[in-house]
């Protein structure tokens, strides 16, 4: 089974936080699942390795995770869901001038990850309990992680 791994899970491993989510990834490794990340996750991880590509690649190899480029199909899926999100997002009032401003709770990279997972994988390992459930309801969680 092809499983997409969200950035938050990998950062948990690096910072040794939220062991329950780490264990889901380790369970997938033990079960020899085909673990994948889109290039946007790779980019989000780079600061954790202070841009040391060799260390990042070694970390991914040690965790049996392959990186894929973000293709146009994934980007189209992300764009459709991102547009839906933008239509529904709330407004906040500027405390200084009173202007209504868009309240962004998520960033586009979350949608790229969801688009990639939906078009290339059978499931996702993530901590996010909102965006994927709401904007990617057809995306299956691996185990019980969303």
pLDDT at 10 over 80: yes
pLDDT on residue 98: 73
**Closest residue by Cα to residue 29 from 57, 9, 8:** 9
Segment 45-73, tens digit of pLDDT = 999 999 999 999 999 999 999 999 999 99
Segment 11-58, tens digit of pLDDT = 999 999 989 889 999 999 999 999 999 999 999 999 999 999 999 999
**Residue ranges covered by each domain of the chain:** 2-135
**Closest residue by Cα to residue 108 from 133, 85, 88, 91:** 85
Question: Which residues lie closer than 8 Å to 24 by C-beta, 6 or more apart?
Answer: 9, 125, 142, 143, 145
**Closest residue by Cα to residue 4 from 78, 55, 58:** 78
Q: Compute the average pLDDT of residues 68-97.
A: 85
Say what the pTM is: 0.84
pLDDT at 144 over 60: no
pLDDT at 106 over 50: yes
Q: What is the CATH number of domain 2-135?
A: 3.40.50.1010
Least confident of 21-25, 78-82, 91-95, 105-109: 91-95
């Amino acid at each position: 089974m092809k499983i997409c791994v969200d950035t938050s899970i990998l950062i948990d491993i690096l910072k040794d936080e939220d062991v329950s989510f780490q264990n889901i990834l380790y369970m997938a490794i033990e079960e020899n699942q085909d673990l994948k990340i889109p290039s946007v996750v790779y980019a989000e991880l780079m600061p954790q390795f202070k841009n040391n590509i060799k260390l990042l690649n070694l970390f991914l190899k040690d965790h049996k995770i392959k990186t894929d480029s973000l293709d146009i199909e994934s980007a189209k899926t992300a764009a459709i869901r991102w547009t839906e999100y933008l239509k529904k997002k709330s407004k906040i009032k500027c405390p200084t001038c009173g202007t209504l401003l868009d309240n962004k709770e998520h960033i586009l990279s979350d949608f790229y990850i969801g688009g990639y997972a939906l078009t290339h994988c059978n499931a996702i390992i993530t901590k996010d309990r909102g965006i994927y459930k709401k904007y990617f309801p057809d995306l299956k969680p691996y185990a019980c992680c969303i």
